[in-house]
Structure 1
Amino acid sequence: MTFLEKLKPHLISDDILIQEVVLHALHDYPNVPEEWTNELLKEAFRNKDKQSSIFIYVENQTFNEESVKILSENIPLMDPSERHLAVNLVQRIEPELALKYKNQLQAYIPKSTWALYELLLHGTEEEVYSEYGQILNDLERAGSDQHHLYITAKKLAACLVKKGWVTETEIDLILEEEIKGRWFSFNGILNIYMIGLLKLEKYIPLLVRLLERDEDSLLEELSATLISFQSDQVIKEVAPYLRKENSIIYAASIVENMKTDFAVQVLREAYTSARELDQQDILFEALCHQFSEKALPEINKHMELDYSSGLVDIEQTAYSYFSILGIKHRELALWRQVALERELDFRQKGNDLPSAPVRNEIRVGRNDPCPCGSGKKYKKCCGK
């Protein structure tokens, strides 16, 4: 069975622990069927306990006309104070589709964004490049409040690629200059995004070498681009970085989202060679999210360790892995109990702190997108 075939029966799970892990495993995977996204949206509006979790985890997926219908029909029924995550999804709908359903969506998209969408569909090359340059300037001056501007810049970059207004020669020149600098500019980061859209595999070795940089925005886009290739070449190039402390988190995320036997093999080898528990935790989670029985030896070995991880929800991850694959284990009920107690404890603490910038409906993993809306991973934002 394929990765998706294994997850399909559990896409909408009554078990909140399994539901979380399924969503996490799908979050950065680029080949999630559109009908799955729609099923998850329907479930979010049916089940309020799952709502914020689903809205956060599906933000990277493709929204089609049915998605628009589900969102536009259900958002008006929500409490206005709880709409922000659903509205965030509306703003990720492709411009052409959003304009087609402008009457249904205009209450949730600012006027300036509608003007941007018209430019993306009907603007000239000079007009789009001019706007792109202005947004890049705004981004460099924006300080910490960059997320909305960055999403706008990505829409403009995608338009430049779609209309054939970006060439490999231009990308070569920009990257050559960016690599010389201490930090990547937003223009450099967005060129990495465009490489992914263009599927320019010649850049894979160069991109992988950037994994040792300490730049969160660059690493987020770099990971997404490398994942988008879905190739064994990426796995081969990334493999050495699974053994380096300063690159293992992003390297593991990249290989985790390549759902192949080769990816499982590379993760198993990295786990075997890892000497630090935190590195083993990261690789354990990546192996579990492959949902491959070939990883059983390493997963069983990890569950024999008697300690509490500060990086990964070990019991929940293992419980979901074994449950989804239908593999029996004598500790399965215990893992579920521990994970549920941790979940209840977290919810209680969340209810005690209603003004905290984290959701109280469900636990946020350190590699999840931060629910405050910054666009950063939780570990780099409110979870510091």
Structure 2
Amino acid sequence: MNFLQKIEPYLTSDDLLVQEFVVHALEDYPDVPEEWVTRLLKEAVNKKEKESSILVFADKHQLSEEALKVLLDGLEKAERSKKHLYTKFLENIEPQLAMNYKNELTPYHTKETWDFYELLLNGTEEEVWNKYGEIINKLEQAPEYDHELFIKGKKVVKTLVQKGWINEKEIALILSENLNENWFSFDGILAVYAIRLLKLETHTPILASLLTREEDVLLEEVADALISFQSEEVVRAVEPYLNQSDSVIFATSVVGNIKLPLSIDVLQSAYHQVTEEDQDIIFEALCHQLSLDCLPEIEDYMESEPEVYLVEPEPVAYGYFTVMGVKHPKLPKWKRVAEKRERQFQEDMNNSNQNNALSTPAPYQNTDKVGRNDPCPCGSGKKYKKCCLN
């Protein structure tokens, strides 16, 4: 069985730890079937205990018309504090699909957004390029990163690609200009996104070399582009960056989300070479490969009774062994530890919310109760690894 075939029986598991493991494993994987996204959304809407864990990690995937209908139903039923988890999915909606459901989506979009979609669908080449230039200028001049504006920039690039108004030569020129700079411009970052859309795999070595950069927005796009290629060439190009602490997180994300035998070999090799602190990242990626070939390293890691660094090992190991159908004497213990930690985390969050309601919030301090992929407790909406963890 391949990766997706192993996951499917557990896609909507009633075991919350297994459910979260599955959704984590699918989070950055590019070939999740549209029908699965719909199924996960239905599960989130109909089972409130799963709502947050599913919605936080499933929002990168494309919305089909059926999924949009489920999302709208969820928005209508959701508590006010949870509505933002649903509206985040609207970032990925195609302009034409949004227009088809304009009446239903009007409460969640401004007139400016509808004008923007109209431009993307019916604007001339010059008008679309002018909009792109306007967005780039605003992004560069903004005092801090504007995520909503960046998403608009990606939508413009997607339109330029779909309509054939940008080509490989232009993209390569933008990329080469940015390689000589200390920091990538937003034009350069969006060129990486265009490389992904056009499947320009010849740029694999250059993209891999960017994994040592310290620009999170760029690194997200680089990782997504490399993952989308699903090739052995990418695995080989990224392999050297698994052994460097400054690039191991994104490098591991790339290799871990390419489901090939070579990926397993490379991850196993890296596991025995990296520091103990970085081993937990490799361990999680090996679990997400869903292969029995990974068992030696996974068992070695769990037997070492690892400290919590960036990954909480018990729920990951519990999910892996359960999905793989492998019996392990410590499964009940791992489940108890994971559930206890989650209860403690929720209690801490509830206490924090109560304290914040009575006083000015203090700067958030890192704790070991948050997984690197979990939503950051500071409330930024970002993943912990991209926020207070840094």
Shared topology, TM-score over 0.5? yes
- 2:164 aligns to what? 164
Q: Any conservation in 1 of the 2:280–2:309 contact (CA below 8 Å)?
A: no
1:82, CA displacement in angstroms? 2.5
CA distance in 1, matches of 2:188, 2:239: 24
- 76-85 or 252-261, which deviates more: 76-85
Q: Any conservation in 2 of the 1:147–1:375 contact (CA below 8 Å)?
A: no
1:337-352 alignment to 2 at 5 Å?
A: 337-352=336-351
TM-score, normalised by the number of residues in structure 1: 0.94
Instruction: String of CA shifts for 1:253-303, please: whole Å, max 9, x gaps.
Output: 0001001111111111111222x1112111111000111000001111111
1:334, CA displacement in angstroms? 0.9
Instruction: String of CA shifts for 1:30-60, please: whole Å, max 9, x gaps.
Output: 0001111001101111111221221121111
- 1:90 aligns to what? 90
* Percent identity between the two aligned chains: 50
- 1:70 aligns to what? 70
- 1:267 aligns to what? 267
CA distance in 2, matches of 1:311, 1:81: 27
Q: Any conservation in 2 of the 1:55–1:86 contact (CA below 8 Å)?
A: yes
Going from structure 1 to structure 2, the CA distance change for 1:149 and 1:353 (only over 3 Å counts) comes to same
Counterpart residue identity of residue 345, structure 2: F
Going from structure 1 to structure 2, the CA distance change for 1:364 and 1:193 (only over 3 Å counts) comes to farther
TM-score, normalised by the number of residues in structure 2: 0.93
Going from structure 1 to structure 2, the CA distance change for 1:351 and 1:375 (only over 3 Å counts) comes to closer
CA distance in 2, matches of 1:152, 1:364: 30
Q: What is the aligned-residue RMSD (CA, Å)?
A: 1.8
Structure 1 runs, 4 residues or longer, greater than 3 Å off: 355-358, 367-377
CA distance in 2, matches of 1:193, 1:166: 12
Going from structure 1 to structure 2, the CA distance change for 1:199 and 1:373 (only over 3 Å counts) comes to farther
- 1:299 aligns to what? 298
CA distance in 2, matches of 1:369, 1:182: 30
Q: Any conservation in 1 of the 2:74–2:86 contact (CA below 8 Å)?
A: no
Unpaired runs of 5+ in structure 1?
none
Counterpart residue identity of residue 373, structure 2: N
1:100-249 alignment to 2 at 5 Å?
A: 100-249=100-249
Going from structure 1 to structure 2, the CA distance change for 1:28 and 1:183 (only over 3 Å counts) comes to same
- 1:280 aligns to what? 279
Q: Any conservation in 2 of the 1:366–1:383 contact (CA below 8 Å)?
A: yes
1:9, CA displacement in angstroms? 1.0
- 1:53 aligns to what? 53
Q: Any conservation in 2 of the 1:95–1:117 contact (CA below 8 Å)?
A: yes
Q: Any conservation in 2 of the 1:147–1:374 contact (CA below 8 Å)?
A: no
Counterpart residue identity of residue 203, structure 2: Y
Counterpart residue identity of residue 239, structure 1: E
Counterpart residue identity of residue 152, structure 1: K
Unpaired runs of 5+ in structure 2?
none
1:374, CA displacement in angstroms? 5.6
Counterpart residue identity of residue 73, structure 1: D
